[in-house]
Chains A and B, each alone.
With several copies, the nearest count.
Chain A
Amino acid sequence: MIITMAHGSGGAFTSELIDKIFVKEFDNETVKELEDCAVIPGSKKIAMTTDSFVVKPIEYPGGDIGRLCICGTVNDLLMRGAKAKYITCGFIIEEGANSETLKRIVHSMAETAKEAGVIIVAGDTKVIDGNGGIMINTAGVGFVEEGLDISSRNLTPGDLVILSGNLGDHHATILGSRMNITNSIKSDNAPLTDIVSNLLKEKINIHTMRDVTRGGLATVLTELSRSSRVDIKLEEDKIPVSNAVRDFCGLLGLDPLYMGNEGKCIIVVPKNEAGKALEVIRNSKYGENAVIIGEVKEMAEDKACVYIETEIGGKRILDVLQDEGLPRIC
């Protein structure tokens, strides 16, 4: 079936779409009620976030926009130490979209939600002029335990910076299909639930976590260093990048440090807990390749900075991503 403007009218066509595709996949009591608003158990302290996903193509090696839109929002919740609980999803569908594709995407959302331990409690569908594209917004609510304070302001000199795995896979996957470069790189899109819940279970004193998405490691670390007013020194040869991604970047003049990921995070912990944290992460799903990539330092000048000592002993100062003229990857 081809989706047309009528499917966004709010009438019978919309109901058909909701019943046959969404409710069927997001099979839970709340969604089945088909209220305009879900009423669900809460918690004393909650976390809340949102992201829209406009990636093209919507299906790519290793994942699809359905998996992505769950991972993106769940990971943002996890990064503040929240237990991710509820997801809302807003679909913006361009007329001409195929309902079979939509079904696959929605199925993937449902599967990923299960993996991440969240339930989808509310949704919305709009159809707009266009050529068959699908965009999804997800918002998420998580529960935060009292006393937990994980934020970008908590970096402390002496802390070590752990990166949960290789850089650039998601970005290279999306860009490869856009640029017609064949390779076997797969998106890393994944919910980081296991890593975070294991760290919390082991009572690791996490200062800061951040998923390394749009803008890449350099942007994320620069933002953190500015929030906490510290420097971060990275060791270039520790930063894990697959050979395929490295050469992919070489071909297009890109830098893995600025490439987006959708299943990677940095975790900053006090030096004396870093060993244990690393072990916990490595034993968690999607954390197998975690490494310590750097150290938090006192701010040396009047502006916080992230830097790398290069192989010839030079000092390369990183900054946030400027414009790299790339297509959308999330």
Chain B
Amino acid sequence: MAEIDVKKYVEFLQKYDGEELRLMEVCGSHTAAISKSGIKKIISPKIKLISGPGCPVCVSPSAFVDKLIELGRDGAHIVCFGDMMRIPGKESSLNEEKGKGLKVDYVYSPMDILPMAKENPEINYIFACVGFETTIPVYTLLLDAIIRDDIKNIKLLTALKTMPEAIDFLCANDAKIDGFIAPGHVSVITGTKAFYEVSNKYKVPMAVTGFSPKELVVGIYALTKTCINKDSFLKSGKSLVGNYYKSVVLDEGNTKAKDNINKYFKKGDAIWRGMGNIKNSGLYLKVEYSKYDAGSFDLIEDYKINKACRCSDVLMGKISSKECPLFKKYCSPLTPQGACMVSSEGSCYQAFKNGD
């Protein structure tokens, strides 16, 4: 992107004085990248950047954490991504339980569980599988290896989610979003085409966007332009979904990865923390692989830590973090009252940390 001089696009976004536009990013890395870029401080107040349910860790319901703790107490070693450690279950988190003796390790890659399991055949390992389409293929490679090497002491507890269904849910539920900054890394796998259906259904523009400050400017500029010119786009039959992250995102995405996902997983309903059940937005191990599942079905309880927490409205783009009455008063990274404040990719956390 080095070659694009973004100055004039920044200027455009600064001077924008048309109808108020509400643009939502649905990727945690975008939430973080937008915060770091400081872009909110320079674009027109008429362009509102809103964070959606983009952190796969945050949207895991409390039942998922509780199940991990239960498995750990039964003697299994839990392996997870670092962010997972602090997510609250109904009464506790992996972090707190670790201090009480639960065996929990965090790793860079799910594949790191393989040498652990091979070295300690007497220990049962559970990987806490969270993630959207970006991460799900990684679990399929893990499954490939488990099956190939006939490893008997690894199971997966899954809380896997898919993006297009979540966007559909937001649009269907009155989220009042004018356009979506489509998730860059999810799109690497799904391809831009995966968003055509929902975009067509709700006539909502989407811009697949990268993560550097310049890429953000380009994506937001493009999305704004598409919103403004939506009618022309529709008239001309041009898709409202634009790809501005072409270096890695193809229309078809990564077909090998998609095939792998289809090999191991099937669609099903899923609970998103703070949002409830979204039809067909989850992926679950198929029956023929159920012996690798540690009990991922029916993890439906979604315990609310603080009744006043407005996570669900934040995730739905209905309010910004600042508008929650608990924000910075009772709710902080030290004392999170809701899921959005817990993971470093959560929208309230980012709003807190980067002073948005």
B106 at the A interface (CB under 8 A): yes
A-chain residues with CB within 8 Å of residue B213 when the two chains form the complex = 310-312, 314
Whether the pair B99, A312 counts as a contact (CB closer than 8 A) is no
Whether the pair B98, A314 counts as a contact (CB closer than 8 A) is no
Whether the pair B99, A95 counts as a contact (CB closer than 8 A) is yes
A244 at the B interface (CB under 8 A): no
Which of A12, A94, A252, A325 touches B86 (beta carbons < 8 Å)? Answer: A325
A309 to B10 Cα, complex, angstroms = 14
B-chain residues with CB within 8 Å of residue A130 when the two chains form the complex = 99
Whether the pair B333, A322 counts as a contact (CB closer than 8 A) is yes
A243 at the B interface (CB under 8 A): no
Between B39, B107, B332, the greatest number of chain A beta carbons within 10 A of the residue's beta carbon is seen for B39
A255 to B33 Cα, complex, angstroms = 11
Whether the pair B349, A322 counts as a contact (CB closer than 8 A) is yes
B-chain residues with CB within 8 Å of residue A132 when the two chains form the complex = 99-100
A181 to B36 Cα, complex, angstroms = 26
Whether the pair B99, A131 counts as a contact (CB closer than 8 A) is yes
Whether the pair B354, A316 counts as a contact (CB closer than 8 A) is yes
A323 to B95 Cα, complex, angstroms = 12
A148 at the B interface (CB under 8 A): no
Known contacts: A314-B39, A322-B344, A323-B333. The answer to whether A305 contacts B355 by CB under 8 A is yes
A316 to B98 Cα, complex, angstroms = 35
Known contacts: A311-B214, A312-B10. The answer to whether A325 contacts B99 by CB under 8 A is no
Minimal beta-carbon separation of A200 from chain B (angstroms): 36
Whether the pair B353, A322 counts as a contact (CB closer than 8 A) is yes
B-chain residues with CB within 8 Å of residue A253 when the two chains form the complex = 29, 344
Secondary structure at the A interface, as helix, strand, loop or mixed, is: loop
Nearest A-chain residue to B106, judged by Cβ: A325
B121 at the A interface (CB under 8 A): no
A37 to B39 Cα, complex, angstroms = 39
Nearest B-chain residue to A319, judged by Cβ: B353
Nearest A-chain residue to B11, judged by Cβ: A313
Which of A12, A95, A313, A324 touches B42 (beta carbons < 8 Å)? Answer: A313
B237 at the A interface (CB under 8 A): no
Q: Which of A2-10, A109-117, A275-283 contacts B (4 or more CB under 8 A)?
A: A2-10
B96 at the A interface (CB under 8 A): yes
A-chain residues with CB within 8 Å of residue B36 when the two chains form the complex = 255, 310, 316
Known contacts: A97-B99, A131-B101, A312-B214. The answer to whether A317 contacts B355 by CB under 8 A is yes
A205 to B196 Cα, complex, angstroms = 64
A-chain residues with CB within 8 Å of residue B112 when the two chains form the complex = 180
Whether the pair B99, A94 counts as a contact (CB closer than 8 A) is yes
Which of A2, A4, A95, A319 touches B355 (beta carbons < 8 Å)? Answer: A319
Mark interface residues in A285-315 (1 if CB within 8 Å of B CB, else 0). 0000000000000000000010011111111
A312 to B106 Cα, complex, angstroms = 35
Whether the pair B83, A325 counts as a contact (CB closer than 8 A) is yes
Whether the pair B353, A4 counts as a contact (CB closer than 8 A) is no
Q: Which of B199-232 contact A (CB under 8 A)?
A: 213-214, 216-217
Whether the pair B95, A4 counts as a contact (CB closer than 8 A) is yes
A96 at the B interface (CB under 8 A): yes
Minimal beta-carbon separation of B246 from chain A (angstroms): 20
A96 to B101 Cα, complex, angstroms = 8
Nearest A-chain residue to B99, judged by Cβ: A96
Mark interface residues in A1-31 (1 if CB within 8 Å of B CB, else 0). 0111110000011001000000000000000
B-chain residues with CB within 8 Å of residue A12 when the two chains form the complex = 332-334
Nearest B-chain residue to A321, judged by Cβ: B353
A100 to B253 Cα, complex, angstroms = 53
B60 at the A interface (CB under 8 A): no
A312 to B82 Cα, complex, angstroms = 31
B-chain residues with CB within 8 Å of residue A314 when the two chains form the complex = 37-42, 213
Nearest A-chain residue to B85, judged by Cβ: A325
A-chain residues with CB within 8 Å of residue B39 when the two chains form the complex = 310, 312, 314
Whether the pair A95, B98 counts as a contact (CB closer than 8 A) is yes
Known contacts: A5-B95, A319-B353. The answer to whether A310 contacts B101 by CB under 8 A is no
B6 at the A interface (CB under 8 A): yes
B-chain residues with CB within 8 Å of residue A180 when the two chains form the complex = 108, 112
B162 at the A interface (CB under 8 A): no
B35 at the A interface (CB under 8 A): yes
A107 to B196 Cα, complex, angstroms = 63
A-B contact pairs, 8 of them (CB 8 A): A2-B96, A2-B100, A310-B38, A314-B40, A316-B35, A317-B355, A323-B333, A324-B344
Interface positions of B (Cβ within 8 A of A): 6, 10, 29, 35-42, 82-83, 85-86, 93, 95-96, 98-101, 106-108, 112, 213-214, 216-217, 332-334, 344, 349, 352-355
18 extra interface residue pairs, beta carbon distance < 8 Å, beyond A129-B98, A317-B355: A4-B96, A4-B98, A4-B99, A130-B99, A131-B101, A179-B107, A252-B108, A253-B29, A253-B344, A308-B38, A310-B38, A312-B37, A312-B213, A312-B214, A315-B38, A325-B83, A325-B85, A325-B86
Q: Which 4 A-B residue pairs are closest in the complex by CB-CB distance? A: A96-B99, A314-B38, A317-B355, A95-B99
